Amino acid sequence: MHVIRRRDWEIPESQATPEHVYLSRRSLLSGAAAFAAGATLPLPAEAQRVADLPDPTADLYPVPRNEKYVLDRELTPERIATSYNNFYEFGFDKGIARAAQALPIRPWTVKLDGMVEKEQTVDIDDLIRKMPLEERLYRMRCVEAWSMAVPWSGFPMAKLVELAKPLSSAKYVRMETFLNPKVAPAQRLPLYPWPYVEGCTIAEAVNELSFMVTGIYGKPAPKQHGAPLRVVFPWKYGFKSIKSLVRVTFTDKRPVGLWEAAQGREYGFWANVNPKVPHPRWSQASEEDIGTGQRRPTLLFNGYGEFVADLYKDLENEKLFM
Ligand code: MTE
């Protein structure tokens, strides 16, 4: 029997999920077969075929480490980080790694559009091969009050902005995940405004910390971490770090992310980490390290203030920390 046991650091789902979503989800899922397969049954044949396809960029890894970004804690063991994921398209608990293998990630293109000199659709392998890949050790702090520290591989988001050539009138970047309800079971349920969307300002996008991730632990990223291309903003709550991108749009309108659209009282545009600003339903003062199980105090901007605090100097009237 597959028994799901909650680890000490996990917030009960009823707390970590927008309330209306949690309630409607319970009624929708009671008796629904969407996730009944759990993590133990074999994948259907087509999903298994997709899961077994080799990654055409595997020869590029490992990539050289950029030593500038140092950690104040141990790296999270690979087997823990790769089996404890948020990827709501594939299920609502942390054990979605197996289900995510059904996502076909080749062919894969990323559209760069909106307020740009010229719209482009780039092939993922061309993109990855032309970018300066490096490894960075970053902390990641989830809004649910858990954290990890992992070696991401990828390239600066500033390089993607450079490739897209936004017009000077563009102020924001809107990012969008794939929409494929055939393989992502939760996208068949009307609980969230799919596809997953997130956004940032152009100033944030070109900040040196903003990183386009293509790999982790010296290998191409597994699908549960957002292959073939995701973003990571290490000073923001993890929900801003959107996975499996298919579209990046430059715009003068502030994008509304999936969580903000679902529950704007709890999740906002900026979502910078701040231990002194609690989530409406729980404290953000400390976090549980999923690698060690230890609790540690949460740091302002997740400890990255020296890189990013200046971005927010003239924005005191904004809700910068939710
Ligand atoms: N991106 C998509 N498309 N769907 C998601 O559900 N979850 C977010 C973020 N990106 C999510 C997503 C949340 S809440 C977190 S904490 C991080 O991914 C988790 O990243 P990880 O699974 O690689 O640790």
Cα–Cα distance measured from residue 93 to residue 262, given in angstroms and rounded to the nearest whole number: 18
140 CA from centroid of ligand 1 (Å)? 11
Could you identify the residue written with the tokens 């790694």?
97
Report the amino acid identity of residue 272.
Answer: N
Ligand 1 near 241 CB (within 6 A): yes
State which ligand 1 atom lies nearest to the alpha carbon of 177: 3
Cα–Cα distance measured from residue 153 to residue 61, given in angstroms and rounded to the nearest whole number: 9
Ligand 1 near 221 CB (within 6 A): no
3-state secondary structure at position 79: helix
Q: What is the pLDDT of residue 23?
A: 40
Residue 46 binned pLDDT confidence (cut-offs 50, 70, 90): very high
Q: What is the pLDDT of residue 19?
A: 43
89 CA from centroid of ligand 1 (Å)? 10
Q: For residue 34, is pLDDT > 70?
A: no
Ordered DSSP codes for 29-40: HTT--TTTTTTT
State which ligand 1 atom lies nearest to the alpha carbon of 244: 3
Residue whose Cα lies nearest atom 13 of ligand 1: it is 239
Q: For residue 1, is pLDDT > 90?
A: no
Q: For residue 221, is pLDDT > 70?
A: yes
Could you identify the residue written with the tokens 């996008």?
205
Cα–Cα distance measured from residue 221 to residue 87, given in angstroms and rounded to the nearest whole number: 14
Ligand 1 near 238 CB (within 6 A): yes
Q: Nearest to residue 54, comparing CAs of 114, 123, 125?
A: 125
Top mutation candidate among 87, 93, 263 for ligand 1, by most atoms within 8 Å of CB: 87
Q: For residue 7, is pLDDT > 60?
A: no
Residue whose Cα lies nearest atom 4 of ligand 1: it is 87
Q: Nearest to residue 253, comparing CAs of 158, 164, 174, 177?
A: 174
Top mutation candidate among 105, 243, 289, 322 for ligand 1, by most atoms within 8 Å of CB: 243
Q: Cα Rg for the chain, rounded, in angstroms?
A: 19
Ligand 1 near 17 CB (within 6 A): no
Cα–Cα distance measured from residue 100 to residue 87, given in angstroms and rounded to the nearest whole number: 8
Q: What is the pLDDT of residues 65-97, one digit of tens each?
A: 999 999 999 999 999 999 999 999 999 999 999
Q: What is the pLDDT of residues 9-19, one digit of tens each?
A: 445 444 555 44
* Residue 266: C-alpha distances to residues 15, 225, 250 (Å): 11, 24, 25
Q: What percent of the chain has pLDDT over 90?
A: 86
State which ligand 1 atom lies nearest to the alpha carbon of 224: 22
User: What is the DSSP-derived secondary structure letter of residue 43?
Assistant: P
107 prior amide bond cis, ω within 30:
yes
Cα–Cα distance measured from residue 64 to residue 59, given in angstroms and rounded to the nearest whole number: 13
- pTM for the predicted model, two decimal places: 0.91
Cα–Cα distance measured from residue 201 to residue 213, given in angstroms and rounded to the nearest whole number: 19
* Residue 101: C-alpha distances to residues 39, 272, 287 (Å): 12, 31, 29
The vertex-254 CA angle with 251 and 255, nearest 5°, equals 85
Sign of the Cα torsion 10, 11, 16, 17 reads: positive
Q: What is the pLDDT of residue 35?
A: 54
Ligand 1 near 245 CB (within 6 A): no
Could you identify the residue written with the tokens 């999920």?
17
The vertex-22 CA angle with 95 and 294, nearest 5°, equals 50
State which ligand 1 atom lies nearest to the alpha carbon of 225: 23
Q: What is the pLDDT of residue 42?
A: 84
Residue whose Cα lies nearest atom 17 of ligand 1: it is 238
104 CA from centroid of ligand 1 (Å)? 18
How confident is the model over 310-315, as a mean pLDDT?
97
* Residue 197: C-alpha distances to residues 37, 103, 166, 306 (Å): 27, 18, 19, 28
> Would you say 216 and 196 are in contact if contact means Cβ atoms under 8 Å apart?
no
Q: For residue 125, is pLDDT > 70?
A: yes
